[in-house]
Amino acid sequence: SRIQHILEGFYLLD
């Protein structure tokens, strides 16, 4: 199994 990158669950702000 792999750990899903947490960034996928968040919005990257400038």
Partner 1 sequence: MLELRLVQGSLLKKVLESIKDLVNDANFDFSSSGFSLQSMDSSHVALVALLLKSEGFEHYRCDRNTSMGMNLGNMSKMLKCAGNDDIITIKGDDGSDTVTFMFESPTQDKIADFEMKLMDIDSEHLGIPEAEYHAIVKMPSAEFARICKDLASIGDTVVISVTKEGVKFSTRGDIGTANIVLRQNTTVDKPEDATVIEMNEPVSMTFALRYMNSFTKATPLSNTVTISMSPDLPVVVEYKIAEMGYVRFYLAPKMEE
Site string for partner 1, 1-14 (x = CB under 8 A): xxxxxxxxxxxxx-
Contacts 24+ apart (CB under 8 A), 5-12: none
Within 13 Å, how many C-alpha atoms sit on residue 9's CB side? Answer: 4
- Residue 10 Cβ vs partner 1, minimum distance, rounded to whole Å: 4
- Residue 14 Cβ vs partner 1, minimum distance, rounded to whole Å: 8
Rounded CA-CA distance 3/6 in Å is 8
- Residue 6 Cβ vs partner 1, minimum distance, rounded to whole Å: 4
> Which residues contact partner 1 (rule: CB under 8 A)?
1-13
